[in-house]
């Protein structure tokens, strides 16, 4: 009998373009119920729940005794009881990277539209046919102004790049981040950000700590002409306090894509304010982003039904509960051994594997770009061939850090000041020990040399280098001081494949 996928939010037709694929592997049932009692009944025999906006509460999860996973069609999982899901061994996956730039585009569109008074001018043009210069319609330049970003994750970082492109100074408040991929923002306290910023854009997730984070006191700290943008979650802003601030001239305006209660009521207080732009939670909605979220959602569904840990697992602690019942990259999962992290949190030069992958080992590398850090993986086992590539990866990809900083044997092969190392070869020169890789087939024969001690990438055109070609082997990767569960599991996996 096919497993059952319960699809909520019937009016959205989520994953519709892949429905034939889903129906090949499962029985898909769509419910229009959003109340807890209705969902408990609908989910009772479900193997997987596919949801977007509908809340999946603890009692719903508890009642679904066959449930293996919940896949969020989108990013935020605040409507899903993660603790209950984890306790019951239910994997929660989302699609975190499908629309970072897309949402940042929308946030910046709201910012520039408010700054130039575009809704007001557009309205007058349509009613009066023309608008003469009027001080009430005077816009604001962006160049030289200060924007404050509350939250500096994927979308916040993308927003920072857009603001910098317009010559703006960028402040950031994020208690969980102390650097932003080399893009040059300045981190500060929330109070300082509120007081110094001409524009404030919210890019935080909704948690118990962020509910009502921007209230009356915070709004009072803002400049009287400051503009507030929120494309994150409505409940982060106290809407009553925001209405009072806008009505009383406490701030200059607001651009909102999210609200505490959605959809809005016909008498929503901000609907008739000329200095407020409202959009219906569609910051993510472009053709390209829609295709990405559909594809990422399908991948997570297939992985969970296949008994694998999906790439975008949100409640990583569920690994502890599942234990040996779930497949991992180096065989059965060991709770103590695997610690999935975002790739940008893993130090350069460490050995990593994909959760739920086939056990392929990679070397983590990165290169400092002009605006942000590029994260790369280099395959090191199975031993790479002549086309070893330096593959760019999204910094939000989950990886497993095997805690092994590679160290390569130094058996001399040749000593040639006109050395031309091959792809996949190691060479040594006075600057260090390097691994040669092709950066990208489209990069006009640009090669990259990976510093094996730091993981940094040095790019250059193909040519002779001064150095000594040295041999290396996978075994040397495991010459680590001391031992830990992750390394022990890695050794066992390699032995099982005949590599040790």
Query: Is the fold of 4-97+288-325 the same as that of 100-278?
Result: yes
For residues 265 and 418, which has the higher predicted lDDT (pLDDT)? 265
Catalytic residue among 221, 281, 292, 499: 281
Catalytic-residue membership of 262: yes
Tokens of 29: 């049932």
The percentage of residues in the chain with a pLDDT greater than 70, rounded to a whole number, is: 80
Predicted TM-score (pTM) of this structure = 0.70
Tokens of 61: 């999860």
- From the number of C-beta atoms within 10 Å of its C-beta (0-12, 13-18, 19+), residue 387 rates as exposed
Domain boundaries, the chain: 4-97+288-325, 100-278, 330-500
Catalytic residue among 262, 288, 475, 479: 262
Residue 399 has φ and ψ, to the nearest 5°, of -135, 160
Catalytic-residue membership of 233: yes
- From the number of C-beta atoms within 10 Å of its C-beta (0-12, 13-18, 19+), residue 373 rates as middle
Catalytic-residue membership of 281: yes
Nearest to 298 by CA among 30, 498, 48: 48
Catalytic residue among 7, 233, 350, 354: 233
Question: Would you say residue 56 has pLDDT above 60?
Answer: yes
Q: Architecture of 100-278 per CATH?
A: 3-Layer(aba) Sandwich (3.40)
Residue 495 has φ and ψ, to the nearest 5°, of -65, -40
Question: 88-106 pLDDT, tens per residue?
Answer: 999 999 998 789 999 999 9
pLDDT score of 495: 62
Q: What is the dihedral of CA 197, 198, 201, 206, to 10 degrees?
A: 50
- From the number of C-beta atoms within 10 Å of its C-beta (0-12, 13-18, 19+), residue 412 rates as exposed
Helix (H) or strand (E) holding 103: helix 100-115
Question: 1-33 pLDDT, tens per residue?
Answer: 899 999 999 988 899 999 999 999 999 999 999
C-alpha 435/C-alpha 423 separation (Å) is 8
169-178, 396-405, 464-473, 474-483 — which is least confidently predicted? Answer: 474-483
- Which residues 6+ apart lie within 8 Å of 194 measured at CB? 148, 200, 218, 221, 222
- From the number of C-beta atoms within 10 Å of its C-beta (0-12, 13-18, 19+), residue 176 rates as exposed
For residues 334 and 217, which has the higher predicted lDDT (pLDDT)? 217
For the chain, the average pLDDT equals 84
CATH code at 4-97+288-325: 3.40.50.720
């Amino acid at each position: 009998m096919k497993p059952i996928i319960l699809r909520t939010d019937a009016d959205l037709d989520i994953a519709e373009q892949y429905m034939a694929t889903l129906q090949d592997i499962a029985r898909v049932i769509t419910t229009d119920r959003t109340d807890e009692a209705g969902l408990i009944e609908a989910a009772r025999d479900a193997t997987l729940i596919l949801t977007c906006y509908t809340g999946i509460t603890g009692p719903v999860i508890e009642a679904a005794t066959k449930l293996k996973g919940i896949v969020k069609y989108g990013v935020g999982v605040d409507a899903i009881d993660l603790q209950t899901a984890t306790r019951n061994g239910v994997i929660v996956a989302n699609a975190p990277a499908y629309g970072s730039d897309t949402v940042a585009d929308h946030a910046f569109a709201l910012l520039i539209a408010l700054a130039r008074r575009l809704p007001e001018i557009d309205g007058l043009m349509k009613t009066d046919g023309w608008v003469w210069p009027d001080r009430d319609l005077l816009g604001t330049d962006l160049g030289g102004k200060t924007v404050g970003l509350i939250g500096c994750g994927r979308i916040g970082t993308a927003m920072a790049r857009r603001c910098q492109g317009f010559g703006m100074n960028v402040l950031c408040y994020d208690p969980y981040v102390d650097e932003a991929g080399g893009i040059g923002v300045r981190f500060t306290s929330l109070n300082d950000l509120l007081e110094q910023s001409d524009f404030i854009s919210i890019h935080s997730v909704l948690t118990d700590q962020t509910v009502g984070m921007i209230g009356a006191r915070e709004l009072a700290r803002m400049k009287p002409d400051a503009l507030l943008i929120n494309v994150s979650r409505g409940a982060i802003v106290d809407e009553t306090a925001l209405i009072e601030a806008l009505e009383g001239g406490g701030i200059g305006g607001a651009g909102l894509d999210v609200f505490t209660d959605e959809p809005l009521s016909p008498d929503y207080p901000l609907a008739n304010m000329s200095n407020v732009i409202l959009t219906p939670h569609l910051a993510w909605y472009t053709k390209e982003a829609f295709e990405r979220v559909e594809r990422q959602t399908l991948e997570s569904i297939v992985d969970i039904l296949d008994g694998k840990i999906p790439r975008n697992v949100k409640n990583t602690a569920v690994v502890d509960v599942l234990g040996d019942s779930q497949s991992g990259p180096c065989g059965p999962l060991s709770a103590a051994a695997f610690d999935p992290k975002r790739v940008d949190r893993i130090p350069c030069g460490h050995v990593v594997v994909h959760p739920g992958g086939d056990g392929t080992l990679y070397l983590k590398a990165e290169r400092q770009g002009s605006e942000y850090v590029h994260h790369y993986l280099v395959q090191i086992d199975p031993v790479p061939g002549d086309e070893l590539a330096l593959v760019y990866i999204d910094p939000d990809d989950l990886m497993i850090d095997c805690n092994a900083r590679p160290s390569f044997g130094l058996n001399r092969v040749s000593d040639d000041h006109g050395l031309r190392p091959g792809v996949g070869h190691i060479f040594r020169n006075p600057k260090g020990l390097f691994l040669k890789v092709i950066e990208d087939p489209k990069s006009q024969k640009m090669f990259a040399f990976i510093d094996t001690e730091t993981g940094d990438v040095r790019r250059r055109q193909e040519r002779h280098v001064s150095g000594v070609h040295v041999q290396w082997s996978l075994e040397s990767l495991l010459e680590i001081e001391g031992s830990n569960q992750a390394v022990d599991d890695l050794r066992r996996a390699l032995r099982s494949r005949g590599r040790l």
